Chains A and B, each alone.
Chain A
């Protein structure tokens, strides 16, 4: 069974640009969550989507947005990039039970210069 796939693996952008990251969940998983990981702040919850609806949201500015498609694939968008947005962005999928384990992808490493 294929795991969670995130593309691209690495991305270099310039301040002010925008970026879109993609996540394909494990087949049958309807919940997709996004996390930002940095050395200083650790793993921080961005948002969770379930059945194309945002179900939970973390404390990030509106520049961070996401969406989920009918096939459960998800995209995350960051607009007006700042240097502080440099991080590893992780996507995780799970089944639709609240206590289902999260399966993480290997992340997209975003560097903003």
Chain B
């Protein structure tokens, strides 16, 4: 079983719709990161959330870290075809070094 459960696995929506991707765990993370990956490329960091209850906005993307630092969500408003890609959440384990645990990812397809 995955340490970080990400849902949904696949999402196909029309341009202009809103969507939310969830990332849940029974473990507490010191921080949680969201990445976006396009075919043939490595993941690119979108945001890092550190404090429980923290909300960060990046244009049409809103990221939230749960109060207990065990879960997070990514909400996209008015999705556009350019948002298409694989969205990954990743939790930082431990206090020493960079050991990220990734969720399985959400494949998002936005149709025009």
Contacts and interface: CB of A to CB of B under 8 A. Distances in A.
Interface of A: 4, 31, 33, 35, 42-45, 48, 50, 55-56, 58, 90, 92, 94, 98-107
B68 interface: no
B102 A98 contact: no
Contacts of A102: 33, 45, 98, 100
Interface stretch (B17-25, B57-65, B89-97): B89-97
A13 to B, nearest CB: 20
Interface in B27-77: 30-31, 33, 35, 40-45, 48, 50
B98 A4 contact: no
B98 A31 contact: yes
Interface residues of B, number: 28
Contacts, number: 71
A45 B48 contact: no
B79 interface: no
Given A43-B43, A48-B97, 11 more contacts: A31-B97, A33-B100, A43-B102, A43-B105, A45-B100, A45-B102, A56-B97, A98-B92, A104-B44, A106-B40, A107-B42
A104 B43 contact: yes
Interface of B: 2, 30-31, 33, 35, 40-45, 48, 50, 88, 90, 92, 94-105
A99 B33 CA distance: 10
A48 B104 CA distance: 20
A107 B92 CA distance: 21
Given A42-B104, A99-B30, A105 B97 contact: no
Nearest to A99: B31
Contacts of B99: 33, 45, 48, 56, 58
B45 to A, nearest CB: 5
Nearest to B47: A101
Contacts of B103: 42
Given A101-B33, A101-B48, A106 B42 contact: yes
